Amino acid sequence: MLPREAVPAGPVVLRPLADDDTGAILRACADPEIVRFIPTIPAPYTADDARLFVTETAPGMWDAGGANFAIADPATGGWLGGISLKAPDVRGNVEIGYMVAPWARGRGVASAAARALTEWAFRQGTHRVELVTDLENVASQRVAMAAGFRREGLQRGAGPLRDGGRDDLVPFARLATDSGEPQRSFLPDLPGGSLSDGVVRLAPITPADAGAYQAMMEEPEVLIRSVPPQAPDPDDTARRLRCTGMWWLSGERAELSVRDAGTGEFAGHIQLMNIVPPLGQAMIGYSLARRFRGRGFMTRAVDLLCEWAFASTPLYRIVAGTAPDNVPSHRVLERAGFTQEAVIKSLLPGLDGTRHDDLQWVRLRG
């Protein structure tokens, strides 16, 4: 059984729950983010649910060999959130979970609490602490990384949803033997959330862009240049755009919308993918919706993204591949500072089983 003691956690303290925490728990559990990302708690959440949690669920976790703490303000003792460890699974691994009240978010409470409780678990003899988040719960993925957890792939269909469906979960773990250093993405956040030269604006693409993105990908000039040369299934598009925050944070790829800086309208898509940190190399790819073509939008977008990448990441080479007859794309790359480097024979799948050469371009740092 784990000791029911207070655990200092930087700006907060972890302490066992008290009966008068129920009011704050009740208020916090009405928060839409908590309802969305913790599908195992009742919704709507009632005063009886809060009372049951304090008097039965939390003590039950301790009795089963786990732990369940309030995250509290050290000055007032007030409840700011909850954090728990499940009882060890059959392999002796322990899962951590947390929530922070809306009124205490954005000031490092969850990261400090997760770090402190994980290190406390190590002192109690645990070797591995696991943590899972929703695919779109970027705030919680950031908490995990700030608390020294490393991402370990994707658990397909592992998460039950309130509507009876299933969703993928993003697993993280921290080992007692890990350094505990906060994990940093290869791709830092954009300054102020976007890049702009006053004409175009690049911002991380989101599920709200799905309709405009899908319509663009179905334009014949776009789909013929896609790999493979076909429009994506709308369900795949919706899913893909739900993953983009996670990809950015894990450093896998940067996926951005290109917008008209004046109106904010979706004009196109640009990405950095195939990121190979040891080589300092990534590939750029892009598509512009028909009605925004002919205005230099994509040249500006490519230049903005390359300038940011060379200034903010260790990338040394940004490469691009085009079909040898894709003249508009060649012009974009030339104007954005790329030079031709090589022809890769029969790289691109074409229609009806044909294959086409790929003209490779590069822009170097500096």
Ligand X SMILES: CC(C)(COP(=O)(O)OP(=O)(O)OC[C@H]1O[C@@H](n2cnc3c(N)ncnc32)[C@H](O)[C@@H]1OP(=O)(O)O)[C@@H](O)C(=O)NCCC(=O)NCCS
Is the CB of 189 or the CB of 221 nearer to ligand X?
Answer: 189
Tokens describing residue 45? 């959440």
User: Rounded to the nearest whole angstrom, what is the least distance from the CB of residue 341 to ligand X in the complex?
Assistant: 36
User: Rounded to the nearest whole angstrom, what is the least distance from the CB of residue 38 to ligand X in the complex?
Assistant: 5
Binding to ligand X in span 291-310, by CB under 6 A: none
* Stretch touching ligand X by CB under 6 A, among 8-16, 136-144, 206-214, 218-226: 136-144
C-alpha distances out from residue 143 to 86, 137, 175, 365, Å: 18, 10, 16, 32
Interface residue with ligand X among 15, 142, 225, 269 (CB under 6 A) is 142
Tokens describing residue 19? 């009966």
Is the CB of 22 or the CB of 141 nearer to ligand X?
Answer: 141
Is 154 an interacting residue with respect to ligand X (CB under 6 A)?
no
Is the CB of 111 or the CB of 329 nearer to ligand X?
Answer: 111
Alpha carbons 341 and 361: distance in angstroms, whole number: 5
Is the CB of 83 or the CB of 284 nearer to ligand X?
Answer: 83
Interface residue with ligand X among 58, 61, 110, 359 (CB under 6 A) is 110
Q: Position of tokens 């007032």?
A: 76
Q: Which amino acid is at 280?
A: G
Binding to ligand X in span 30-59, by CB under 6 A: 33-34, 37-38
Interface residue with ligand X among 133, 244, 271, 287 (CB under 6 A) is 133
Alpha carbons 222 and 237: distance in angstroms, whole number: 15
Is 139 an interacting residue with respect to ligand X (CB under 6 A)?
yes
Q: How many residues bind ligand X (CB under 6 A)?
A: 22
Interface residue with ligand X among 22, 126, 140, 329 (CB under 6 A) is 140
Is the CB of 248 or the CB of 297 nearer to ligand X?
Answer: 248
Interface residue with ligand X among 78, 108, 229, 280 (CB under 6 A) is 108
How many angstroms from the chain centroid is the CA of residue 277? 19
Interface residue with ligand X among 44, 106, 220, 228 (CB under 6 A) is 106
Alpha carbons 221 and 292: distance in angstroms, whole number: 13
Is the CB of 45 or the CB of 98 nearer to ligand X?
Answer: 98
125: left (phi > 0), else alpha (psi -120 to 50), else beta?
left
Tokens describing residue 363? 């822009």
User: Rounded to the nearest whole angstrom, what is the least distance from the CB of residue 31 to ligand X in the complex?
Assistant: 7
Q: Position of tokens 């008209």?
A: 260
User: Rounded to the nearest whole angstrom, what is the least distance from the CB of residue 119 to ligand X in the complex?
Assistant: 16
Q: Provide the 8-state DSSP code for 78.
A: -
Cβ-Cβ contacts under 8 Å for 19 (sequence gap 6 or more):
54, 55
Q: Provide the 8-state DSSP code for 146.
A: H
**Coil, helix or strand for 268?**
strand
**Coil, helix or strand for 225?**
coil
Is 174 an interacting residue with respect to ligand X (CB under 6 A)?
no
User: Rounded to the nearest whole angstrom, what is the least distance from the CB of residue 185 to ligand X in the complex?
Assistant: 9
* Stretch touching ligand X by CB under 6 A, among 135-143, 224-232, 298-306, 353-361: 135-143
The answer to whether the peptide bond before residue 228 is cis (omega within 30 degrees of 0) is yes
CB 54 within 8 A of CB 22: yes
Is the CB of 49 or the CB of 265 nearer to ligand X?
Answer: 49
Half-sphere exposure of 332 (CA within 13 A, CB side): 26
* Positions in the binding site for ligand X (CB under 6 A): 33-34, 37-38, 98-100, 105-111, 133, 137-140, 142-143, 146
